[in-house]
Each structure stands twice: as C-alpha cells, then as structure tokens.
A and B are shown apart, each in its own frame.
Chain A
Amino acid sequence: MSLFKNIFSSLRPELSGDAENRERERSLDGAIRFPVLTLIKSALVWLVIATVFGLIASIKLHSPGFFADCPILTYGKVEPLFWNTLVYGWLFNAGLACAIFLLTRLGGRSGFSATFLTISIVLWNTGVTLGIIGIMAGEQLPYAWLEFPPFVGPVLFIAFVGIGLSCLLTFHARVYRSSYASQWWILAALFSFAWIYSAAQVMLVHFPAQGAIQALINSWYAENVFGLFVAPLAFATLLYLIPKTLGSHVIGYKYSAHAFWSWIFFASISGVSDMAFGPIPVWVPSLGIMASFGLLLPTTTLSIQFLSSLFRKFSVIWSSATARFLFAGSILFLILMYYKIFGSLRGSLASTQFSLFDSGVDFLALFGFAGMVFTGAIQFILPRLLNKELPSPTIVDLQFWMQLIGVILVSIGLISGGALHGELLNESIANSLAITKTLSSGFFLTTLGMLFLFLSSVCGLFTYFMIILSSRVEAEQNTDLISEAPELEYTAP
C-alpha cells in the first residue's frame, strides 16, 4: 500500500514552507506535472526498447545467426525498428517534455488542459507502438525513418497536432509578453514538424510521387526531422538550462536571432546533399551542399554561445549532473556538425556514400547531441516537478559515463568504421565478403557501445521509478529543497 501512497504523494505533493518561495513554480508544476511525467516515462521506456533493438541489430552485423530463425527480428526489420523507436519514441517524447516544461516556465502560465494533452500523448505512443508492430508484421515501407505502415501516419499526425496545439496555447497564454530564444526554437520545431510530416505522408506514403523523387523526398524529410525538429528542441533546452544551471547569462545571447533564422533557412535544404551521384538532377544535391556550408554560420554562433558560457563556469560542470550532460551535448554538437558539413561535399561522398558513415553521423546527432541534452534536461525537470531529490547521485554519474562511453564507442565504430567501409566500397573492388571481414572489429565496437547505452538507459528508467516510488522524506516536504535559479531570461546581459 505504501507504494500507492508514495506515487500519490509524488503526483500530489503537500508541501510546506515559505509560501513566497517557489509559489509561482509550484502552481505551474501542478498544472503540467501529469502530462510531462507521462512524456518522460514514455521517453525513458522507449529509450530502453530502442537500445535493445540497436543491440540486436549490431550483434546481427557480426553474428548473422543471432535470432536468425525469428522472422519478426531480421536485420532488415530491427534496423528500422531501432531508428524509429529512437526518433519517435525517445527523442519526440523527451523533446516535447522539455518543450512543455520550458514554455510553461518561460511564459509563467500553462494554457492547456492537462487531460487533452495527456490523451494526445497516449495517442502518440499508441501510434508508435502500432508502427513497431506493423514493421514486425512485415508492413514496413522502404523509406528511412518513415517505415511505419501507412495507417500509422494519420494517428501520429493527429496526436502531434494535439500536443503542438497545447504548446501553442501555452505560448499564447504567457504572462511575460517578451519572448526568449528557447520559445522561438520550440515554436519553429512544432510548425516545421507538422509541415514536413504532412508533406512526406502525402507525397511519399499515401499518394507516392514517381520513383526517384520518392528517394529525394525521403532525404529531405529524414534530414529535416533532425534539423528542424530534434535539433531546435535541443537548442531550446540548452539555451534555457545553461543559464539555469550556471546562474549566469548565455554569452552572446544577442546573436540568437541570427543563429535561429540562418539555421532554419540552411537546415531545411541541407539534407538532399546525400543524393549526389543518384538518379536525380545534379543541381539538387549541389543546392544541398551549399546549404550545408551555410550551416557553418549558425553552428559557429551556437557553439560559441553554449561552449563559452559553459567554459566560463567550468567548475559547475563537475558538480551538476545536468550541466555535465549539457557540456557533453555541446561538444558532441560541434563534432557532429563537422562531419555533417564536410561530409556533404561530393569529394567526401565519393568515398563514404552507401557506407555506415552516414548512420554514424545520424547516431551522433540523435543519441549523442540531442540524447545527451534531453537526458540532462530530464534530470533537471524531475526533481523540480516532484519536489524530490534524485534518488542516487551515483546512479546518475554512472548513467552519464556509460552514456558518454557508449556514444563514443558506437560513433567510432560507425564513423571511422564507416569511413573504412566507404573506402573499400567506393575506391577498391574488394568484394563484399572481404569488406565484411575487415569491418568486423568496427561491428564489435558498436555492439560494445550499444551495451553501454542499454545499461545507461536502464539507469535512467531506474532513476525515474525510484524518484516516483520513494517515500517523501521530511526535507522533501519543504519547498526550500530546491532553490530556483535567478530569472535571467528577460534581463539584458
């Protein structure tokens, strides 16, 4: 019975203490607690599932006999299962949890009905589950990150509109009329995804365009899921959490608008560069390459903002788990953009095309950069929503290091292994069997990394359940437990 009591006390805390301290935050937390917790819980569960799929897929690359008799887990199904659970399961739920938390905090009022939002979230996760089952049952489509069977598209779209609408209403109902960069990024992400998802669903899934154009739309969509949805939410989170964890302004905040517009402009086109040499007009990938190089501009601005702010208060990074995740995310962002921008050149593609290099860069983007930032944010949000301490700093440390090591190992396995793969594939006439043999050490490295990531995701889930299920100690009944950082968002640096 005490477990139920604990859950109840987590969800409906009766706190005592100075009424003025955190009064505003407490009422905000009350309004968003249930939907945001639902999002975080779904995100963490999907992350565990995604790492299991990733582990199976990566084992299959060096030991093809693994689960070979299981028709629902052939490599051709597990690979899309991994990417789809990662994107639509983990990153969407986690990113939207951050978005709702940020919009409410920054606006000072929540403008949605928690029930409606929760129903939308449940619908979204039902859609993802249906999609996963559909792929396993053999209904998958051959488009990257759009493998879900056709009937799932409308479900996800309606659910997304429900979640997006709640976010928009929150922004609309804000008390502070001026807006902070995080809010722009979130709004842009919501608008963009509704647009690219409906465009891709219509032109690719329901009324498919002619053959080669489908591949082009697919490239455009897949890159924009990162560039226009996942990355903007991660930027929003970074721009909000850096001042909150460090207690000082973001350095160079006044350049945020430039970074914002140039990122949206260039990222929306950059994806098609990977169609170089393919059966489409040559000018299309050229446009993509130009746009990729345009990304140098916002990448520089954003990296300077994030990293110089973090370096100025470097000591905090060692003491705050969230700041450590943000720091790792910012560094990985820089590395990722180096590979993305220079990897888009025809000269690089002539060597890396069709190799695992591409998967490595995607992995770094989704698991490394965005994954790190969202994990850090979840560890910032949970204690504040529940007014409880994180159950065990050791587990959090363990999670951080395992996640970082996992990301590094998998990235090395896929990016440098992929570079070798591409070289053998595109610049020699070594046959596939010889290439497979040469790559096996990279495959083993990837498996080892996925194992670390699996363990770190289990730690994340464990932390979540521990903080929900633990009983509230006396200190946690007091609102003074968590001191709120100063509000730096609306004051000039």
Chain B
Amino acid sequence: MNRGPFIFLGVLIILVYSWVAVVYKPNQQVGQLVAVLDPDQGGRLPRQIQGAADHGKEVYQELGCVACHTQQVRIAAGMDIERGWGSRQSVARDYIDQDRVLLGRKRLGPDLSNVGERRPDAAWHLLHLFNPQINSPGSNMPAYSFLYDTREIVGEASSRALEFPEAFAPPVGYEVIPTRKAESLAAYMLSLKVDYDLNEAPKSLEAMADELAVALENAE
C-alpha cells in the first residue's frame, strides 16, 4: 500500500465496476427504449407534451417544484393507488421524453404524475399557484404570487383575470392576471396524466382482477 499507482489502480477498478453495474448495465437494459404506437390508445405512447405545457415544464424545473413533488407511482409499496395518484406502476418508458427527468425524491406535497386527471380545471391550478390557502387551507406550499400581475382595472375587466372567492379577492378596482409562466405551469399540470397502459407496466391487484373478470365474461 505504499505506492500511489497501486491505490489508483485499485480504486479505478472498483469505480469502473461500480459504474458498469449500476449505470451501464441498467442503461443497456432500459435506457434505449422507444415510444410505442398503439392506435387503440390514441397513437404514440407515452404522450408528448407540447406548446404551453412544454414551457410549463421549464417553469416547473426553474422553480424547483421537484423538491417537494414526485412524478412516479409505485404499486409494490405505499398507498399511491389507494390515494388515487395513479392506476399502475410507473415504468422507464413513461419518462423517455423527459430530457431532464422530474421523477422527484421527496413528497412534501402530493405526487403529480396524474394531477391533470385529478384536477382537470386550469382555473383551480391558477388559484392554487397564486395562493394555495385559497383551495388547500393549511398547506405549507409557498404562494407563487410573483407569477401574477395585480393591476388596476382600466376600462373593462380582463377575461383572463382570476375569479376569487370572497375572502381572498383583491381590492375593489383591481384584478389579478396570470403571467405567461403561470399559464404555462397550469397547462403543464393539466398535461400530467398517465391515461394509457403499457404492456410492461404492472397494474394494481384490483385493476388486474377487474380486467380478468371482464376477459372471463367475454370468453363465456
């Protein structure tokens, strides 16, 4: 152990082994996936997000939403299915379009992989982002009011202005207009839904039992 090159070689061999085992092999196994074409489920799977939603993903990344929100559903552990956060296991193919993956490591807030299905209303998201206390009282999510313009109403009120419940309304004569970033973020939220099946994706036991029942019925 008295020579630098010996230590260097030993450490190098271990590191190469670790890289091959943990990075290279899995990358060979599930790192070169392609999209599936399934006309029955509406074409290309996973679905691509476009336009405002795509811009919204950048805003999501920029604000660090990933610090509190995951985008993955597990069936082997946890209560993700029972909570209604999804209906099947997330698999590698679901993420092939994400050049910066937003899988997430913490759930200080709910999982968002299916939030577009749970909350299909853009107005809800715009209010929620402006001030989470409006529709989720007690939440510790920060308010992103800096993504909105509060301005005096000149002439006619804007059609894009948020509609507040009584207690949270801006002063009379003022309106709150979402900026492009807020609009995009809401569009991104609506685009987040895993409403398709993939052959390799395991479903929850209940879902599989239901499918089996239907298949048996058809067979009879």
Contacts and interface: CB of A to CB of B under 8 A. Distances in A.
B103 A433 contact: no
A138 B77 CA distance: 34
B22 A284 contact: yes
A187 B122 CA distance: 55
Contacts of B139: 64, 432-433, 436
A77 interface: yes
B100 A208 contact: yes
A350 B141 CA distance: 25
Contacts of B64: 74-77, 79-80, 135, 140, 142, 147
B136 interface: yes
Nearest to B18: A268
A272 B12 CA distance: 19
Interface in A39-74: 60-62, 64-65, 68-71, 74
A80 B99 CA distance: 20
Contacts of B27: 209-210, 213
Interface in B64-121: 64-68, 70, 72, 74, 76-79, 82-83, 89-92, 94-110
B30 interface: yes
Determine chain A's interface SS by DSSP, over half rule: helix
B121 to A, nearest CB: 19
B92 A212 contact: yes
Given A184-B7, A433-B139, A77 B107 contact: no
Nearest to A284: B26
Contacts of B124: none
Interface size bucket, A side? Answer: 35 or more
A76 B105 CA distance: 13
Interface string B7-19: 1101110110111
Interface residues of B, number: 74
B101 A191 contact: no
B101 A264 contact: no
Contacts of B8: 187, 191
Contacts of B11: 187-188, 191-192, 264
A199 interface: yes
A214 interface: yes
A257 B1 contact: yes
Interface of A: 60-62, 64-65, 68-71, 74-77, 79-80, 135, 138-142, 144, 147, 168, 171-172, 177-179, 184, 187-188, 191-192, 195-196, 199, 203, 208-217, 220, 224, 228, 257, 261, 264-265, 268-269, 271-272, 274, 276-281, 284, 287-288, 346, 349-350, 353-356, 358-359, 425-429, 431-433, 436-437, 443
Given A142-B61, A279-B95, A353-B78, 16 more contacts: A64-B140, A76-B63, A76-B68, A80-B64, A210-B95, A213-B26, A213-B27, A214-B98, A220-B23, A268-B14, A279-B103, A281-B26, A281-B29, A349-B77, A354-B70, A432-B139
25 contacts: A64-B142, A74-B64, A138-B63, A172-B4, A178-B2, A188-B11, A191-B12, A195-B12, A203-B23, A208-B99, A210-B92, A212-B103, A215-B103, A216-B23, A265-B14, A268-B18, A274-B105, A279-B91, A279-B94, A354-B104, A354-B105, A356-B108, A359-B106, A433-B138, A433-B139
